[in-house]
C-alpha cells in the first residue's frame, strides 16, 4: 500500500461500516490499547475479529436490569452469554467483556460507533434522492450530483490513492 500511496482514509463512515472494521490493529485505536496476554482469549476463544463482535461481547456488562438473564461482574456469572463463552473455553467471560469494553472505549471518535458524524449539510434530501433514482431507472431526466461525504456502501470504498 505504501508503494502505491494507498491508504484507508474515509471522510465520514456509516455506523454499519464502522462495525465491520477489524478489531485488531484498528486504525482508530492506539497500539498501546492492545495487550498480548489479555487479548488472547478474545482473539482465540471468542473469535472476535470485528468491532461488531466486540460490541456483542461487551454488551452483557450493561445487562443488569433483567433479573432472569442478569450479568454479574464475577468469574462464575450464570447469564446465558457467559455460560456459552465458558462452554467455548473462556475461563473468565466477565474479564473478557470488560477488556472488550476497554478496547472499544479507546477508539477515536471518527471510527467509534457511538458517535454521530457532524452534519455537513451536503447530503441530498430524501425527495431529491428519489427523483435521482427515478431519473436513473427511466434513463430520462436530470440527475443531481450527490456531494455526501458519508461512505455507506463497503469498506473498499474507503481506500484512497494520493
Alpha-carbon torsion 129, 131, 136, 142, what sign? negative
End-to-end CA distance of the chain: 11
Residue 101 in grid coordinates: 469494553
Mean pLDDT, residues 56-73 taken together: 76
Furthest CA-CA distance within the chain = 65
Mean pLDDT, residues 100-126 taken together: 84
- Of 1-10, 82-91, 145-154, the range with the highest mean pLDDT is 82-91
Quick one: pLDDT band at residue 64, thresholds 50, 70, 90? low
pTM for the complete prediction? 0.75
Mean pLDDT, residues 61-70 taken together: 68
Alpha helices (H) along 61-92: 80-88
| 54 touches 48 (CB < 8 A) | yes
Q: Helix, strand, coil: what percent of the chain each, to 5? A: 45, 5, 50
Angle at which helices 93-105 and 36-44 cross, to 10°? 110
DSSP helix/strand/coil, 161: strand
pLDDT of residue 20: 92
Mean pLDDT, residues 1-10 taken together: 78
Residue 76 in grid coordinates: 462464575
Amino acid at each position: 500500500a505504501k508503494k502505491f500511496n494507498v491508504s484507508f482514509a474515509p471522510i465520514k463512515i456509516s455506523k454499519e461500516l464502522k462495525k465491520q472494521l477489524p478489531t485488531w490493529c484498528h486504525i482508530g485505536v492506539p497500539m498501546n490499547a492492545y495487550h498480548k496476554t489479555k487479548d488472547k482469549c478474545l482473539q482465540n476463544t471468542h473469535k472476535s475479529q470485528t468491532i461488531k463482535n466486540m460490541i456483542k461481547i461487551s454488551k452483557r456488562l450493561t445487562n443488569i436490569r433483567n433479573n432472569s438473564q442478569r450479568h454479574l461482574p464475577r468469574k462464575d456469572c450464570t447469564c446465558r452469554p457467559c455460560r456459552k463463552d465458558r462452554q467455548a473455553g473462556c475461563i473468565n467471560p466477565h474479564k473478557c467483556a470488560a477488556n472488550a469494553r476497554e478496547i472499544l472505549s479507546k477508539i477515536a471518535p471518527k471510527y467509534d460507533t457511538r458517535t454521530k458524524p457532524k452534519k455537513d449539510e451536503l447530503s441530498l434530501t430524501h425527495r431529491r434522492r428519489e427523483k435521482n433514482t427515478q431519473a436513473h431507472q427511466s434513463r430520462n431526466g436530470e440527475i443531481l450530483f450527490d456531494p455526501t461525504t458519508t461512505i455507506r456502501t463497503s469498506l473498499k470504498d474507503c481506500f484512497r490513492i494520493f
